[in-house]
Amino acid sequence: MSATEPNITEPDSPGLLPIRAVAQITGVNPITLRAWERRYGLIRPTRTPAGHRLYSQGDVERIQRIQKLAEQGIGFAQIATIFEREEPEIAPPSSAQTTIDALPDTPQPQSVSQSEGNLIERVIDATIHLDARVLREAEVSALLWLSPQDYLRDVLIEALARLEMRSAWPDRDIGLTWLGEYIKGRFEWVLSAEHHPNRPTITVDFVLDGSVPVRAAGLWLLTQLFDPRYNLKLLPIGLSHYQRERLVQRWQASLWVRITESNTMAKDAYLHNNIGTTRLHWCALEPLTAQDEQNENKNPWRDKFAGIIDRCQTEILNEMGLKPQSDRGLHH
């Protein structure tokens, strides 16, 4: 994440808002607002002598209009073209809705769910071909209109689950590991922005099972463990038992959650002698199979894990002496 601008409104600039205030009003994060300005010229905020962005009410209305057009499936380059055509005209009010049929070069609109579906297919294609460039391009596109949390939950994890339910494709285990590690890295990126030193820590790791250590179900459990009352830290893959225990000690973790598959839990439940007062908790999640894909219309993969993930989540909160919250989990 890039650096943020101070939440400052210049005293000689009445009615102008700093970027943080605009982000709160519109729900568009500051990174996206800067991207819309730099890459597409969609917004033109004024600047203070120190270079900080200040937004007028007209800018706020323009941002809200961009959101509406993007929700219809119009790309940001096309939105810029729409605005360029309107430049000689009087700026439309915030309630104005561009008519898609009046724009001959505008593609047919897509719903938000359709746009997410296209992103999922791009991630799947990138994984099958082990193409990091395509995966990165999908992320850049997604983060212009999705929060990092939504991208993790609704695109990346969904893509991994669909790939797990494909029984045969070239280098399947390599691809699953490649995407799983990528998603795990994006989790660490989000977690780093949520870290607070005075909160207790829960460490989480994935127990190696064959050649695919990170599974969609385990990652989905992570999204449900986001909670403002504690910090989450992920242990790296490939450490020895001693190194894991040492890192748990260094982080002074209150709880160590180990995510595994039910058929590996017993053989991997070795004694942990070097974790001090840290408590150990296991969550066993079965892997997805091709059978799950065949049954998807009747029993989506998330339904398969809903009960056990809810139980693991409740057990972890109990271990921490906390009560469930209605808004717990990965949030906007």
Mean pLDDT in residue range 192-212: 84
248 and 210 together in one domain: yes
> Strand runs (DSSP E) across 169-260, as ranges?
201-206, 231-234, 255-260
89 vs 109: CA distance, rounded Å: 24
Show which of 76, 102, 128 is a domain's final residue.
102
Q: Which two tokens stand for residue 80?
A: 């810029």
Number of domains composing the chain: 2
Does 164 map to a domain?
yes
Does 5 map to a domain?
no
Does 207 map to a domain?
yes
Show which of 75, 102, 129 is a domain's final residue.
102
Does 154 map to a domain?
yes
How does pLDDT run across 276-285, given as a tens digit for each residue?
889 999 898 8
Percent of the chain whose pLDDT exceeds 70:
78
More confident residue, 102 or 207: 207
pTM (2 decimals)?
Answer: 0.65
40 and 164 together in one domain: no
Whether 204 and 259 have beta carbons less than 8 Å apart is answered as yes
178 and 259 together in one domain: yes
137 and 245 together in one domain: yes
Write the CB contacts of 244 (distance below 8 Å, at least 6 apart in sequence). 205, 235
79 and 195 together in one domain: no
* Mean pLDDT, all residues of the chain: 80
> DSSP code of 258?
E
30 and 131 together in one domain: no
175 and 60 together in one domain: no
Percent of the chain whose pLDDT exceeds 90:
37
Query: Euclidean distance between the first and final Cα of the chain, in Å?
Result: 16
Would the pLDDT of 60 be above 60? yes
Tell me the CA distances in angstroms from 146 to 14, 70, 149, one per residue in order: 31, 11, 8
Does 11 map to a domain?
no
Q: For residue 3, with 0-12 CB atoms within 10 Å meaning exposed, 13-18 middle and 19 or more buried, which class applies? A: exposed
For residue 245, give its domain range: 112-319
Does 140 map to a domain?
yes
Paired sense of beta strands 255-260 and 279-284, if any: parallel
Q: Which two tokens stand for residue 160?
A: 């991994």
Most confident of 36-40, 137-141, 156-160: 156-160
Report the CATH number at residue 68.
1.10.1660.10
Mean pLDDT in residue range 38-61: 87
